[in-house]
Amino acid sequence: MCHGYELLEDWNLTSQEKDSRSHVLAKLQSALVANSSIRFSVKYPFCCPHRLSINLKAERDFAISSVLGENQAMTTTEEDVQHCGIFDLDPSLEKFKDHLIYRSKKYVEQKSLIEKFEGSLEEFSQGYLKFGFNREQDAIVYREWAPAAQEAQLIGDFNGWDGSNHKMEKNEFGVWNIKIPDAGGKPSIPHNSRVKFRFKHGNGIWVDRIPAWIRYATVDPTRFAAPYDGVHWDPPPSERYIFKYSRPPKPAAPRIYEAHVGMSSSEPCVSTYREFADTVLPRIRANNYNTVQLMAILEHSYYGSFGYHVTNFFAVSSRSGTPEDLKYLIDKAHGLGLRVLMDVVHSHASNNVTDGLNGFDVGQGTQDSYFHNGERGYHKLWDSRLFNYANWEVLRFLLSNLRWWLDEFNFDGFRFDGVTSMLYHHHGINMVFTGNYTEYFSEATDVDAVVYMMLANHLVHNLLPDATVIAEDVSGMPALCRPDYEGGVGFDYRLAMAIPDRWIDFLKNKMDSEWSMKEIVWSLTNRRYTEKCVAYAESHDQAIVGDKTISFLLMDKVMYSGMSDLEPASPVIERGIALHKMIHFLTMALGGEGYLNFMGNEFGHPEWIDFPREGNSWSYDKCRRQWNLVDTDHLRYKHMNAFDRAMNLLDDRFHFLASEKQIVSSISEEDKVIVFERGDLVFVFNFHPENTYSGYKVGCDLPGKYRVTLDSDAFEFGGHGRVGHDIDHFTSPEGIPGVSETNFNNRPNSFKILSPARTCVVYYKVDETLQQPDEDTTGTETTVTQVLQDSQVDKTAESPSEETISTEETTVRQVLQDSPDLASDEVLVSSGIRDEKEIDTEDSTASD
User: Is the confidence at residue 73, as pLDDT, over 80?
Assistant: no
CA distances (Å), origin 213, targets 142, 231, 311: 10, 11, 11
* Tens-place pLDDT, residues 355-392: 999 999 998 899 999 999 999 999 999 999 999 999 99
User: Is the confidence at residue 126, as pLDDT, over 60?
Assistant: yes
Residue 609 · residue 545 · CB < 8 Å: yes
Instruction: Kindly report the backbone phi and psi dihedral angles of residue 253, in degrees, each rounded to the nearest multiple of 5, phi listed first.
Output: -145, 130
Rounded Cα–Cα distance for residues 314 and 634 (Å): 45
The pLDDT score that the predictor gives to residue 203 is 84
The pLDDT score that the predictor gives to residue 830 is 41
In sequence order, what DSSP letters do the residues of 404-438 get, joined into one string?
HHHHHH---EEEETTHHHHHBTTTTTT----S-GG
The pLDDT score that the predictor gives to residue 202 is 85
Closest alpha carbon to 83 in 528, 447, 490, 486: 486
**Average pLDDT of the chain?**
85
Rounded Cα–Cα distance for residues 202 and 364 (Å): 9
User: Is the confidence at residue 151, as pLDDT, over 80?
Assistant: yes
Higher confidence at residue 787 or residue 157?
A: 157
The pLDDT score that the predictor gives to residue 66 is 29
Spatial CB neighbours of 225, under 8 Å, sequence gap ≥ 6? none
Rounded Cα–Cα distance for residues 708 and 723 (Å): 8
CA distances (Å), origin 642, targets 598, 636, 647, 653, 715: 16, 10, 9, 16, 11
Q: Which amino acid is at 192?
A: N
Separate counts of helices (H) and strands (E) for the chain? 22, 31
Closest alpha carbon to 239 in 192, 195, 186: 192
- Residues 118-138: what's their mean pLDDT? 97
Closest alpha carbon to 629 in 555, 542, 535: 555
How far is residue 795 CA from its own chain's centroid?
23
* Tens-place pLDDT, residues 511-536: 999 999 999 999 999 999 899 999 99
Residue 689 · residue 723 · CB < 8 Å: no
User: Is the confidence at residue 67, as pLDDT, over 50?
Assistant: no
User: Is the confidence at residue 93, as pLDDT, over 90?
Assistant: yes
Residue 89 · residue 485 · CB < 8 Å: no
User: Is the confidence at residue 229, as pLDDT, over 90?
Assistant: yes
364: alpha, beta or left? (left if phi > 0; alpha if psi -120 to 50): beta
Residue 625 · residue 264 · CB < 8 Å: yes
Number of C-beta neighbours around residue 769 at 10 A: 5
Query: E strand or H helix at 113, and its extent?
Result: helix 97-118
Residue 585 · residue 647 · CB < 8 Å: yes
User: Is the confidence at residue 614, as pLDDT, over 90?
Assistant: no
Q: Which amino acid is at 218?
A: T
User: If DSSP codes are grouped into helix, strand and coil, which group holds residue 741?
Assistant: helix
The pLDDT score that the predictor gives to residue 82 is 52
Residue 590, exposed/middle/buried by CB under 10 A (0-12, 13-18, 19+)?
buried
Give the pLDDT band (50/70/90) at residue 98: very high
* Tens-place pLDDT, residues 733-756: 998 877 888 899 999 999 999 999
The pLDDT score that the predictor gives to residue 613 is 87
DSSP character at residue 558: G
Q: What is the pTM of this model?
A: 0.84
Residue 399 · residue 456 · CB < 8 Å: yes
When mean pLDDT is compared across 26-30, 115-119, 576-580, the lowest value belongs to 26-30
Half-sphere exposure of 340 (CA within 13 A, CB side): 27
Query: In terms of DSSP bridges, do strands 217-219 and 228-232 run parallel, antiparallel, or are they unpaired?
Result: antiparallel
- Residues 12-22: what's their mean pLDDT? 44
Residue 444, exposed/middle/buried by CB under 10 A (0-12, 13-18, 19+)?
middle
Question: What does the H/E/C string look like for 354-413?
Answer: CCCHHHHCCCCCHHHCCECCHHHHEECCCCEECECCCCHHHHHHHHHHHHHHHHHHCCCE
Query: E strand or H helix at 665, and its extent?
Result: strand 662-668
User: Is the confidence at residue 400, as pLDDT, over 90?
Assistant: yes
Give the pLDDT band (50/70/90) at residue 815: very low
Residue 408 · residue 334 · CB < 8 Å: no
Higher confidence at residue 674 or residue 820?
A: 674
Residue 491 · residue 416 · CB < 8 Å: yes
Give the pLDDT band (50/70/90) at residue 94: very high
The terminus-to-terminus CA distance of the chain in angstroms comes to 54
> Domains of the chain by range and CATH?
125-232 (2.60.40.10), 517-658 (no CATH), 662-765 (2.60.40.1180)
Query: In terms of DSSP bridges, do strands 378-379 and 298-299 run parallel, antiparallel, or are they unpaired?
Result: unpaired
Query: In terms of DSSP bridges, do strands 349-350 and 291-295 run parallel, antiparallel, or are they unpaired?
Result: unpaired
Q: Give the dihedral sign, CA 7/9/12/15.
A: positive
Q: What whole-number percentage of the chain has pLDDT above 70?
A: 81
Q: What whole-number percentage of the chain has pLDDT above 90?
A: 73
Rounded Cα–Cα distance for residues 662 and 650 (Å): 16
DSSP character at residue 559: G
Give the pLDDT band (50/70/90) at residue 595: very high
Rounded Cα–Cα distance for residues 616 and 607 (Å): 15
The pLDDT score that the predictor gives to residue 70 is 35
Rounded Cα–Cα distance for residues 348 and 416 (Å): 11
Residue 136, exposed/middle/buried by CB under 10 A (0-12, 13-18, 19+)?
exposed
H-state helical runs in 432-497: 447-463
The pLDDT score that the predictor gives to residue 787 is 46
DSSP character at residue 279: I
Indicate which residues carry an active-site annotation. Answer: 417, 472
Q: Give the dihedral sign, CA 374/376/377/378.
A: positive
Q: Which amino acid is at 199?
A: F
* Tens-place pLDDT, residues 247-287: 999 999 999 999 999 999 999 999 999 999 999 999 999 99
User: Is the confidence at residue 121, as pLDDT, over 50?
Assistant: yes
The pLDDT score that the predictor gives to residue 783 is 56
Number of C-beta neighbours around residue 296 at 10 A: 24
User: Is the confidence at residue 808, as pLDDT, over 80?
Assistant: no
* Tens-place pLDDT, residues 74-89: 344 445 555 578 898 8
When mean pLDDT is compared across 202-206, 448-452, 543-547, the lowest value belongs to 543-547
The pLDDT score that the predictor gives to residue 218 is 97
The pLDDT score that the predictor gives to residue 238 is 96
User: If DSSP codes are grouped into helix, strand and coil, which group holds residue 642?
Assistant: helix
Rounded Cα–Cα distance for residues 163 and 168 (Å): 9
Closest alpha carbon to 758 in 528, 527, 579: 579
Residue 268 · residue 621 · CB < 8 Å: yes
Closest alpha carbon to 469 in 247, 250, 243, 249: 250
Closest alpha carbon to 387 in 354, 422, 352: 422
Residue 442 · residue 391 · CB < 8 Å: no
